[in-house]
């Protein structure tokens, strides 16, 4: 059941070389529950590793790495205008989104090409181009690490926030998600107001877009802006877009008229990539880690980078952004 001294380099998209003391893959909920009852799982720290697309391995993992490989997609409920779809945690997120589109189930198309697995998606309430998981979320099933008992979580139970959920806060490292359910629409409505989607569609001469057109536009935009992890090691957006008070934004807007920002209720969300670019970091390298030439929000492995190289670069960027703008950048990637 266990692999010993297992390499994790191919299991994280940053391609950082690190090993785990033990590693186990599980393909069913029953296997996961049995594994959690073993002496190994009860006596060692446990790290759950899905697609490895949002982590930085700063050291070897001294405990047990569990890789959920649960697969399967099914329709639980089909009403006139909506469906409830359940996907197992090991399903590839992008493939799941495209499958839903092909069936005529809409709502997730703006989240196309986000790396990772379905099980990881609710943990940080993944979002892009004006849509977040919480907008279509129905419920999920997760297994308690300490007891192996399964529990259902509703939308309100998950306490979703901007790149946040109860699984990153009060229940951090307490549960392993096995299945996620979404309520999707059978009506082909689209969301075009965020980012470059409308411009991309116009460039393609698409004036009455369908959800599949939006998905294709998002894919083209992401492919232009973001590096393919199969070619350049990275963990996607490395920092959260900071949310600041309106008063601070007014001061910054006066100093920097071209600052990129979006309303966030009574506050304002700044584009972290723009802040980083203004400090001169875009395209630069520090040690064996660097900032991607096409998108300053993405840190990359220039070849042979270790976790400490990535963190040194991240901290240097944080210091410079704070010094220039008085704004603190929070790391979005999980540091292990």
How far from 126 is each of 35, 208, 257, 285, CA to CA, in Å? 28, 27, 30, 28
What global pTM score does this model have?
0.85
Phi-psi region of 36 (alpha: psi -120 to 50; beta: other; left: phi over 0): alpha
Report the distance separating Cα 155 and Cα 26, nearest Å.
26
Q: Smallest Cα–Cα separation from 109: which of 179, 242, 201?
A: 201
Instruction: Respond yes or no: is residue 237 known to be catalytic.
Output: yes
- Pairing, β 61-68 against β 46-48: parallel
pLDDT of residue 195: 66
Instruction: Respond yes or no: is residue 154 known to be catalytic.
Output: no
Tokens of 280: 């001169």
Catalytic residue among 53, 91, 109, 163: 163
How many other CB atoms sit within 10 Å of the CB of residue 262? 13
How far from 15 is each of 41, 187, 319, CA to CA, in Å? 26, 40, 26
User: 315-333: buried (b, 16+ CB within 10 Å) or exposed (e) per residue?
Assistant: eebbebbeeebebebebbb
Contact, 326 vs 232, CB < 8 A?
no
pLDDT of residue 54: 86
pLDDT (tens place) for every residue of the chain, 336 residues total:
688 899 999 999 999 999 999 999 999 999 999 999 987 888 888 999 988 888 999 999 999 999 999 999 999 999 989 999 999 999 999 999 999 999 999 999 999 999 899 999 999 899 988 899 999 999 999 999 999 999 999 999 999 998 899 999 999 999 999 999 999 999 988 888 776 888 888 888 888 898 999 999 999 999 988 888 888 999 988 999 999 999 999 999 999 999 988 888 889 999 999 999 999 999 999 999 999 999 999 999 999 999 999 999 999 999 999 999 999 999 988 898
User: How many Cα atoms occupy the beta-carbon half-sphere of 269 within 13 Å?
Assistant: 13
Q: Smallest Cα–Cα separation from 227: which of 237, 218, 217?
A: 237
Report the distance separating Cα 132 and Cα 124, nearest Å.
10
Catalytic residue among 145, 220, 277, 332: 332
Cα angle 41, 45, 48 (rounded to 5 degrees) comes to 80
Tokens of 161: 């926030």
pLDDT of residue 262: 86
Give the chain's domains with CATH numbers: 3-68 (3.30.43.10), 73-185 (3.30.465.10), 233-335 (3.90.78.10)
Cα angle 227, 304, 220 (rounded to 5 degrees) comes to 5
Integer-rounded Cα radius of gyration of the chain: 20
Q: Which residues fall within 8 angstroms of residue 323, CB to CB, at 6 or more apart?
A: none
pLDDT of residue 83: 96
Tokens of 52: 């490895």
For 229, which DSSP code? T
Instruction: Respond yes or no: is residue 224 known to be catalytic.
Output: no
Q: Smallest Cα–Cα separation from 91: which of 177, 171, 1?
A: 177
């Amino acid at each position: 059941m266990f692999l010993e001294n297992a390499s994790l380099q191919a299991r994280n998209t940053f391609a950082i070389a690190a090993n785990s003391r033990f590693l186990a893959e599980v393909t069913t909920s029953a296997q996961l529950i049995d594994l959690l009852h073993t002496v190994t799982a009860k006596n060692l720290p446990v790290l759950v590793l899905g697609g490895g697309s949002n982590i930085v391995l700063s050291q070897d993992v001294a405990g047990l790495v569990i890789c959920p490989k649960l697969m399967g997609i099914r329709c639980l409920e089909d009403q006139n205008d909506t469906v409830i779809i359940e996907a197992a945690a090991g399903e590839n997120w992008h493939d799941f989104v495209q499958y839903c589109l092909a069936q005529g189930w809409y709502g997730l198309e703006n989240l196309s090409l986000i790396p990772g697995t379905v099980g990881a998606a609710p943990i940080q309430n993944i979002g892009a181009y004006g849509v977040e998981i919480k907008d279509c979320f129905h419920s999920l099933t997760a297994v308690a690490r300490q007891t192996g008992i399964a529990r259902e979580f509703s939308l309100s139970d998950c306490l979703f926030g901007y790149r946040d959920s109860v699984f990153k806060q009060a229940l951090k490292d307490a549960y392993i998600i096995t299945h996620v359910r979404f309520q999707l629409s059978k009506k082909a409505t689209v969301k075009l107001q965020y980012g470059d989607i409308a411009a991309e569609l116009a460039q393609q001469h698409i004036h009455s877009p369908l959800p599949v057109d939006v998905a294709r536009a998002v894919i083209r935009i992401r492919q232009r802006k973001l590096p393919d992890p199969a070619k350049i090691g990275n963990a996607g957006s490395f920092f959260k877009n900071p949310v600041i008070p309106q008063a601070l934004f007014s001061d910054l807007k006066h100093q920097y008229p071209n600052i990129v920002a979006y309303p966030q209720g009574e506050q304002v969300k700044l584009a972290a990539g723009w802040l980083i670019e203004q400090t001169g970091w875009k395209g630069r390298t520090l040690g064996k880690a660097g900032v991607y030439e096409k998108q300053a929000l993405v840190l990359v492995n220039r070849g042979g980078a270790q976790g400490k190289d990535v963190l040194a670069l991240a901290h240097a960027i944080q210091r410079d952004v704070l010094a220039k703008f008085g704004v603190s950048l929070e790391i979005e990637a999980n540091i292990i």
